[in-house]
Amino acid sequence: MRHVTTRRARSITLLLAGALVLSACGGGSDDEVAASAPTSTSVAPTSTAPAETSAVEPATVESTTFSGPAVDIFGADQVQAAYDLTTQFAERNSFVIEHMDHNSVETPADYEGPGVIDHMSHAMAEDYRATVAGAFAGDAGANDRLKSITYTSLIGGNSSFRAEGPAIVDHTIGDASAAFDETNGGRLALTFTQHVNVRANRDSEPVLIGLDKTMTFYLIETAAGGQHTWLIDGLSAEWAGGQVVPDTSGS
């Protein structure tokens, strides 16, 4: 279930990163990206982020009944629990307004909060911290890999977030599937697509920027504290879309 705006007149295509990989084993894409690395300076530019705390609309998550080898191996309830975990992770981390606003002044710690690190395996967390540090140091490959989790520096220059209303709308997650991955002794691989429209002004004109992110989470089981849970041990993502169309909704 994916909402795609039908307002296609006078469209402009953004350059978006292709396949991005972040995992406990490292790796990544050398593709050139349009957006630059996170900003870290001593003097803060004027942020263009909207003032509302609810700047991202909650996602509508498509209900899915999984089947196949992954369910046979891990069980239907555990696969569903993994889907709940990863969709919540994507909803919380894919589109963070401060990360998307190039004028925001941030530090690596802003990318390493408990909503990110505590859902990762130890090896994945180490690789992720190194990726964040590399992105802030200007490493283009690290910045690409960081986008597998959160989009950075989409807004800046001749574009800004709207002063009022949510910045992220038409937020959906769906087209999910589950598979068994034999890496690292066997992992659950969950794939789904996340779609949003970003409400922005470009050259002072209201526009919608459509973004689609297809992710595959690689998860390992853990029984920490005697309770079963999942940890993210790898993540690949592919961004698509980037259509910029006039927003004629009047809002």
Write out pLDDT tens, residues 184-209: 889 999 999 999 999 999 999 999 99
Tens digits of residue pLDDT in 70-121: 999 999 999 999 999 999 999 999 999 999 998 889 999 999 987 899 999 9
Tens digits of residue pLDDT in 36-65: 556 543 333 344 544 444 689 999 999 999
| 129-151 average pLDDT score | 93
- 187 token code pair: 């992992």
Q: Domain limits of the chain? A: 12-36+55-246
Is the pLDDT assigned to residue 226 strictly greater than 70?
no
Is the pLDDT assigned to residue 1 strictly greater than 70?
no
Q: 157 versus 214: which is more confidently predicted? A: 214
Cβ atoms of 121 and 183 within 8 Å: the answer is no
pLDDT tier at 19, thresholds 50, 70, 90: low
Determine the pLDDT at residue 223: 76
Q: 251 versus 46: which is more confidently predicted? A: 251
Determine the pLDDT at residue 194: 97
Rounded alpha-carbon distances, angstroms, from residue 211 to 3, 162, 230, 242, 244: 11, 17, 28, 5, 10
Dihedrals phi, psi of 40, to nearest 5 degrees: -140, 100
Helix or strand holding residue 143 (H, E): helix 140-146
The one-character DSSP state at 108 is G
Determine the pLDDT at residue 21: 76
Determine the pLDDT at residue 225: 66
Is the pLDDT assigned to residue 222 strictly greater than 60?
yes
Q: 31 versus 144: which is more confidently predicted? A: 144
Beta strand pairing call for 168-181 and 187-202: antiparallel
Kindly report whether the global pTM for this prediction surpasses the value 0.85.
no
- 28 token code pair: 């990544």
pLDDT tier at 24, thresholds 50, 70, 90: low
- 95 token code pair: 């589109």
